[in-house]
Structure 1
Amino acid sequence: MARDLPIGNGNVLINFDAAYNIRDMYYPLVGQENQSSDHLSHFGIWCQEGFFWIDHPEVSKKLTYLEDSLVTDVQCSHERLGLNFGIRDGVDVQQNSFVRKVKVENHLDVEREIKLYFHLDLQIYGNGVGDTIYYDPELNSLLFYKGHRYMSLSCLSPDNEKPTPSGYATGQKGIHGLEGTWRDAEDGHLGGNPIAQGSVDGIIELTLKLPANSSKEAWFWICFGKTKQEVERLEQVLRTTTPQVFLQRTHEHWVKWVNQDAHQLSLLKPDLESFYKRCLLITRTNVDNRGAIIAANDSDILKFAKDTYSYMWPRDGALVSHALDRAGYHELSRNFFDFCSKVLTPEGYLMHKYNPDSSVGSSWHPWVDGQGKKQLAIQEDETALVLYTLWHHHKLAGTLDKSREDYEKLVKPAADFLVHYRDASGLPLPSYDLWEERYGVLAFTVSSVYAGLVAAARFAEFHEDKARAVYYADIAELVKKSAEQQLFAPEQNRFLRALYWSYEENKYIPDYTMDMSMYALFDFGLLQLEDPRLLSTMKALKDKLWVQTDIGGIARYENDYYHQVTNDVAKVPGNPWFICTLWYAEWLVATAKTVQDLVEAENLMRWAIHHALPSGVMAEQVHPFSGEPMSVSPLTWSHASFIKVAQEYLSKLKKLTSKEVESGVDASEDKVLEPVNH
């Protein structure tokens, strides 16, 4: 089930599923140590007329955020039982605490007793072995712990002066036929077992007295710490400050943060502006405060591969950081580049992926080829794109005069690696592609290597390292010329996806598969926009990869097998991906000559909005027939892609509008793209 409405503060990340059950609870690193590990934590309501959990079919729900905020705004209704309830959840921006406000409305003409149940099914350190839960009589809270991880679960009723639950239960689950303490709540009475160990869960009860046709607000919260003393301190701060203050300051923080964007967003239509901001906020939830930009934190993918996307891929991180830098959030990108500098190998390259704590992540890339010979288990574009985006980081942040350390510790060793990791023709040596499926010389990788070397040359020139400046620039030009000679197919009048080395034939074998990642030929500056070979390539990509269903969108490449749902590859070359569709929108923006030319790009941006969840969350890909999210959700790269294309769109819109005004064209006649001031 797709993850929705992520909330976090860079230390704590909480994901909900589509029914608004808590599924993922990361602490103390975003993406590492999922203290919930896809186990479902329930929220339920009891009244004399019946009991229900929030995911019951009779509960209608609208799942959104408060505008420009990382505080949720979830409206629920159980018409038959005469109950409405609204939930606002947030992770405090100053303390590692999750806060929930529940407003319950009684729509019957009688006074009623309402009981709220908050259940937690944790897997501390990511596993359910040796956990303990007990009721703490001093805190009047449930306390979970194992090793150096502690989590408290507390509540506050408006009918009580102190945060004291009206009931609680602890127990075991998943063993001996036990389902968990949540079952104990369904009769409106908890057993009160005070402690359990092993594979455990717990639940607290909060009771409200609601007069006829009235409403009341109740509170729940979870505090996270590495010691019991830390949790006790957080509990004291929260109770003294009040959970309302925590939630309010969190809301205000995010509204202020997202409206610091460096662009003139008022030129965007309201729906595009709102979605752009939502993408920034969702992206921020997947950025750890120590610098790791995590690809996705949806543990539901465990069912597919027994591994997650909760890693820092240097490529994803570089492109996400670039979008953040362009928006003006330089401090987040700075942390990312510090992370990369820390993990760069002595040889000058970055590994496949990393855990948020900077250790090397899992990998399926072998260190030997089919002949048993050593090969590097890397994707070279990941090293190159860090150089490319690092240059732009310093340019955009205005910190080139402070880039000497980056130049010495990161740029020079990485650029020297790119220089030497080439064959006699000048092309980069084979490495794995960005889709992590093929070992060869890829158009995307070659384009990124060119961009990385150009960036390194600019760094060298700035720091008056004249020999390296000339050297890196010359090698970049050689890479470009080699790509034009060897990656272009004259008979097809377009570029190739890749070259693969054949030991049998002792030469490279061309790969003619259309792959949307070839957009990199223009985006990373290898080719000029007006190059007829590029124009032909981009047209062929759109023609071959557009999904011919009512859903539409652009697939990764021809006959994409990942989560494939049909063998009709002529109609559905692959599932539509958000990033691929937005890459083509970026091409349309780049080549637009008039304001009217931007219409198709805007339509593709709205395609992304339409196929996101109502909250604004975008998955990796969508089902080609139903439009349902597929694979992980949210994918950070999807959101960063929308951020970047919106930035390009804004820049081009301003340029073309100004040009048309100067030439006497009435741009206001364009009803589709008419700027909105608000």
Structure 2
Amino acid sequence: MPRNIPVGNGNMLVAFDENYHMRELYYPYVGEENHTNGNSSMMGVWIDGTFHWVDKKWSVDMKYLPESLVTDVSLSREGVPIELKINDCVDFHENILIKRIGVRNTSSVNHDIRLFLTLDLDILGNEIGDTAMYRPDKRVVVHYKRDRWFLVNMVYEGQHGVERFAIGSKGKNGLEGTYMDAVDGVLECNPIEQGSVDSVTGIELDIEGGGEREFFYYICVGKSWEEVYTLDSIIRDKTPQELLKRTENYWKLWSTKEDLPLNKLPEKLAWLYNKSLLILRTQIDNHGGIIAANDSDVMQYNRDTYSYIWPRDGALVAHALDRAGYLVLSSRFYDFAGRVICIRGFLAHKYTPSEDVGSSWHPWVAKGRRQFPIQEDETALTVWTLCEHFKRYRDIEFIKPLYKKIVKNGADFMCRFTDKFTGLPLESYDLWEERLGVHAFTVASVYGGLIGASDLASSFGEIEQSERYREAAERMKEAFIEHMYLEEGYFARMVRVEEGKVTYTDRNIDASLYSIFAFGMFKASHPMVRSSMERVERALWVDTSIGGVARYIDDPYYRTSPDIPGNPWIITTLWLTIYYIEIGDQGRALELLHWVGERALPSGVLSEQVNPYTGAPLSVSPLTWSHATYIEALQRYMDRFL
């Protein structure tokens, strides 16, 4: 189920699903720790003795206010005589989720209306040892475990405090959860519970026919009681209205800071560019980690999440941010990479936002021989994007400490990690994390990384180093053409090399062949690129009413049908878009950009892949890489055609 509308500030991320259930709450890092563990925190409505949970039976419209990370949510249900208008935000500066809830009586008669908001936390990612309690001195509900605290409060007609609440156990001894206490419209006010717990807060509104009322609900998040109570005091001093408004204003300023010719684009494409910037920001941690995605439903697939920093994804996102003018965020990522790169000069498979090595399925041994459990393109692309960053901004003071840590260290590793007979890279895992071998995408990215390192070394006056990197890159390019360009007119996806001989060639057509021009090995107009990309489009375009480009033939990941090569992905379709931009085909590029625009949710969220028959999101959503690739594609389009 997609996360239709995320909000955050770089320390805290909250995301809602298609039913407007809060499903993700990350703190103190974006992507780490998830204090909901995917549980649903919901809203319920009691009217004149009848109760309704807000669920799929309701009409749910979830958007953002223009140019902002403040939501604009509308809820209604046939036969229920109210409409709800809600604005959510995580304050841009403080770790507070603020919710303004407007309630309109759509009938001509008065109604007794009671609203209930549940909070189902598994603090630190598990349900063991949580405490929820009511503090009567402050009139607030508090959840805590160790040094993670969550304070819940409400404001109605200028008065702060929770008066109606229930706290209890969930998931043990047959107990469904305290949230069920709301169904009769009366909360029992149990003051404390420990273990596996949840809570409900409620408010009663007597609204005349055609009338409206509003109230505020907020959650302060911190590492101690003192910290969350201080945040509560800030809201009391400033009012939740002021925090909502200042956050809306901040994101408007942030997302429109660059002077771009967006007014010359079709409205939907310009709108999605702005939304992609904002949604991208919710997935970036303030400490430098660029998270692949934060959608806990994917745990059902392999018992792990996408809430990690893959250096490849991070590097390509940082490159898009550089193109878009957000160099502070990209610089934080490069600093992050400088802190985690190993002494041997390569980056690991993935990392947590707190800079630990992430989970992996790449072994250190294969066929009885030691190997590095890496995807070499991740190191190469981090070097390449950092060098591209320097070319764009010439920020010498910034690049100075990273030149040795990342550029020289990484380039030296790439030179060592080369087959001495062929000049190709040694075997590593592919960008899809499925195959061990020498991959076209890896060769192209290593080439780009070595050429970038050569240029930067030359700028620093290290001519011998510069020449060594360039010679290794050019030898690799020659070997790539010799060993991986097929007589059918495209590059092989992968080869296996043993004792200097190519022993296996994988001829499957893969959308990642866009890499052969994307990182500078060839011009997009080169005949070998043209023939390769033509094969990609013919073989991988999904022949349904939805269309789009699959990753490769017979892609099994979330596959919906054997009648298609695979599900269409946002990034692969955008790679084809970038190819058409680079060869100057504006019409086809615009068609593909519109295809992406049509795949966006009303909030602007882009998923990883889409159902080839319905267009519905599949796998994680939002995918950070999808939004970054759209930003890059539109930047290239504006540079080329506007």
- TM-score category (smaller protein): over 0.9
- Map of 2:53 onto structure 1: 53
The 8 Å contact of residues 147 and 224 in structure 2, kept in 1 or not, is answered as yes
Gaps (5+ residues) in structure 1? 655-678
Partner amino acid, structure 1, of 2:295: D
Alignment partner of 1:557: what SS? coil
Q: Is 1:621 aligned to residue 613 of structure 2?
A: no
1:344-355 equivalent positions in 2, closer than 5 A: 344-355=341-352
Report what 1:657 is aligned to: none
Deviation of 1:49 after TM superposition, in Å, equals 5.3
| Deviation readout 1:232-274 (Å, 9 max, x if unpaired) | 1000011111011111111111111000135332222221111
Q: Which of 489, 493, 501 is the equivalent residue of 2:489?
A: 493
Question: Does structure 1 retain, via aligned residues, the 8 Å contact 2:139–2:163?
Answer: no
**Match of 1:671?**
none
* CA distance in 2 between partners of 1:102 and 1:618 (Å): 27
1:660 equivalent in structure 2: none
Partner of 2:15: 15
Match runs of 1:206-355 below 5 Å? 206-261=203-258, 263-355=260-352
Q: CA deviation at 1:609?
A: 1.4
Cα deviation digits, residues 528-557 of structure 1 (max 9, x gap): 223212111110000000001111000000
Structure 2 CA distance for partners of 1:45 and 1:625, relative to 1, 3 Å: same
Q: Pairwise mapping of residues 162-201 of structure 1 onto structure 2 (< 5 A)?
A: 162-201=159-198
Q: Identify the range of structure 1 (453-462 vs 46-55) with the bigger mean alpha-carbon deviation.
A: 46-55
Of the candidates 508, 515, 519, which is equivalent to residue 520 of structure 1?
515
Provide Cα deviations, 1:374-401, integer angstroms capped at 9, x if missing partner.
Answer: 0110000000000111012223233135
Per-residue deviation at 1:502?
5.9
Query: Is the CA contact 1:166–1:207 (under 8 Å) kept in the aligned structure 2?
Result: no
Q: Secondary structure at the match of 2:108?
A: coil
Partner letter of residue 146 of structure 1?
A: K
SS for the counterpart of 1:363 is coil
User: Retained in 2: the 8 A contact 1:133–1:197?
Assistant: yes
1:535-581 deviation digits (Å, cap 9, x = unpaired): 1111000000000111100000000011112222xxx1000000000
Helix, strand or coil for the counterpart of 2:605? coil
Partner-residue secondary structure (3-state), 2:214 = strand
Per the alignment, residue 622 of structure 2 pairs with 634
The alpha-carbon deviation at position 422 of structure 1 amounts to 0.1
Aligned-partner Cα distance in 1 for 2:136–2:569: 51
Are positions 1:469 and 2:436 aligned together? no
Q: Distance in 2 between matches of 1:313 and 1:402?
A: 23
The answer to whether the 8 Å contact 1:311/1:354 transfers is yes
Matches for 1:232-631 after TM superposition, within 5 Å: 232-261=229-258, 263-369=260-366, 371-400=367-396, 402-424=398-420, 425-489=422-486, 491-501=487-497, 507-568=502-563, 572-592=564-584, 597-631=585-619
Q: Do structure 1's residue 98 and structure 2's residue 78 form an aligned pair?
A: no
| CA-to-aligned-CA distance 1:446-467 (integer Å, 9 cap, x gap) | 0000000011111111111111
Instruction: Measure the CA separation in 1 of the matches of 2:282 and 2:567.
Output: 26
Contact 1:154 1:163 in 2 (8 A): yes
Is the 1:5–1:64 Cα contact (8 Å) retained in structure 2?
Answer: yes
Is the contact made by 1:157 and 1:207 (CA closer than 8 Å) also made in structure 2? Answer: no
Shift of residue 611, structure 1, vs aligned partner: 1.5
In the aligned structure 1, how far is the partner of 2:260 from the partner of 2:360? 38
Q: Distance in 2 between matches of 1:201 and 1:49?
A: 24
Aligned residues: 641
Residue in structure 2 matched with residue 137 of structure 1 by the alignment: 136
Secondary structure of the 2:369 match is coil
Matched AA of 2:75: C
| Deviation (angstroms), 1:212 | 2.0
- Cα shift at 1:78: 2.6
Determine the C-alpha separation between the residues in 1 that align with 2:393 and 2:213.
48
1:209 Cα shift? Answer: 2.3
**CA separation in 1, counterparts of 2:307 and 2:20?**
21
Distance between the aligned counterparts of 1:493 and 1:107, measured in 2?
65
User: Does the 8 Å contact 2:49/2:185 carry over to 1?
Assistant: no
Report if the CA contact (8 A) 1:519-1:538 is conserved: yes
In 2, Cα distance between equivalents of 1:618 and 1:508: 40
Q: Match of 1:355, SS?
A: coil
Matched residue type, 2:490:
R
Rounded Cα–Cα distance in structure 1 between residues aligned with 2:570 and 2:64: 21
Provide the residue aligned with 1:658 in structure 2.
none
AA in 1 matched with 2:577: A
SS in structure 1 at match of 2:578: helix
Q: CA deviation at 1:50?
A: 2.0
Quick one: which amino acid aligns to residue 404 of structure 1?
K
CA distance in 1 between counterparts of 2:280 and 2:103 reads: 31
**Which residue of structure 2 lines up, in the alignment, with residue 153 of structure 1?**
152
Paired with 2:100 and 2:398, the residues of 1 have a C-alpha distance of 45
| C-alpha contact 1:267 1:650 (8 A) present in aligned 2 | no
Q: Tell me the distance in 2 between the aligned counterparts of 1:80 and 1:395.
A: 61
2:26 aligns with 26
With over 3 angstroms needed to count, the CA separation of the structure-2 counterparts of 1:262 and 1:337, relative to structure 1, is farther
Equivalent position of 1:664 in the other structure: none
Distance 1:396 1:227 in 2: 43
Matched residues in 2 for 1:635 and 1:380: separation?
A: 22
The AA in structure 2 aligned to 1:316 is: D
Q: Is the 8 A contact 2:36 2:122 kept in 1?
A: yes
- Which residue of structure 2 lines up, in the alignment, with residue 42 of structure 1? 42
Counterpart AA for 1:539: E
Question: In the alignment, residue 320 of structure 2 is paired with which amino acid?
Answer: A
The root-mean-square deviation of aligned C-alpha atoms, in Å, is 1.3
Q: Is the 8 A contact 2:63 2:603 kept in 1?
A: yes
